C-alpha cells in the first residue's frame, strides 16, 4: 500500500502542475466570462513522457475559481477576499490582544498565499478554521454576541 501511495505521489511533479495550470488557462481563455461551470474543469495535457495527464484541480485556488466561474466568479472572489481583509484590518481594535491579532492576521495571510499553490479550500477544515479566525477578529472582546434576558416572566416579556 505504501509503495502504491508513494509511487502515485512521485508522479505529481512540477511539470504536472505546470501542465495543469496551462490547461486551466486554456479553459479560461475558451470561456472567459462565465468559465466552464462549477466542478466542470477537466484539465488534460500531454506530459514530458508523452502520456496523457488528467486532473480535476489545478494547484491554484484562484485559477480554479476563474476556470470554473470565469472573470465574474474571479471578481466576486476578489470582492469577498477584500471584504474579509477589511474586516480583519478593522478587527485589530477588537482582538483579544495585539499579539493575537498579528498571529491571526498572519495565519489568514499565509492561507491566502498558500491558496495560490495548492487546492486547500477543498479540505473542509481549512476554510472552517479561517472562518473561526475571522470571527475571533471581528467579535468585540468582553461583549456578548447577543443580549440574553435576565429573566422571563410568565407572560413571556423580558425583564
Share of the chain above pLDDT 90, in %: 55
Query: What pLDDT does residue 36 have?
Result: 96
pTM above 0.85, yes or no: no
Which residues is 52 bridged to in the sheet? 46
Give domain status of residue 89, yes or no. Answer: yes
**Residue 122 gets which letter from DSSP?**
G
What is the distance between the alpha carbons of residues 65 and 71, in angstroms, rounded to a whole number? 9
Domain count across the chain: 1
Give domain status of residue 43, yes or no. Answer: yes
Query: What pLDDT does residue 45 have?
Result: 93
Give domain status of residue 158, yes or no. Answer: no
Grouping H, G, I as helix, E, B as strand and the rest as coil, residue 26 is: helix
Give domain status of residue 49, yes or no. Answer: yes
Q: Is 131 exposed, middle or buried (0-12, 13-18, 19+ CB in 10 A)?
A: exposed
Give domain status of residue 126, yes or no. Answer: yes
Amino acid at each position: 500500500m505504501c509503495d502504491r501511495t508513494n509511487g502515485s505521489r512521485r508522479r505529481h511533479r512540477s511539470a504536472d502542475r505546470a501542465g495543469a495550470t496551462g490547461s486551466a488557462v486554456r479553459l479560461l481563455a475558451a470561456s472567459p466570462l462565465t468559465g466552464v461551470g462549477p466542478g466542470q474543469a477537466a484539465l488534460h495535457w500531454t506530459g514530458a513522457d508523452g502520456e496523457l495527464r488528467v486532473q480535476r484541480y489545478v494547484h491554484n485556488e484562484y485559477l480554479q475559481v476563474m476556470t470554473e466561474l470565469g472573470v465574474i466568479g474571479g471578481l466576486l472572489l476578489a470582492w469577498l477576499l477584500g471584504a474579509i481583509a477589511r474586516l480583519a484590518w478593522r478587527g485589530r481594535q477588537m482582538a483579544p490582544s495585539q499579539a493575537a491579532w498579528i498571529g491571526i492576521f498572519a495565519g489568514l495571510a499565509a492561507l491566502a498565499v498558500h491558496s495560490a499553490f495548492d487546492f486547500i479550500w477543498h479540505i473542509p477544515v481549512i476554510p472552517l478554521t479561517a472562518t473561526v479566525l475571522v470571527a475571533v477578529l471581528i467579535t468585540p472582546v468582553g461583549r456578548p454576541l447577543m443580549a440574553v434576558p435576565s429573566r422571563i416572566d410568565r407572560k413571556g416579556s423580558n425583564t
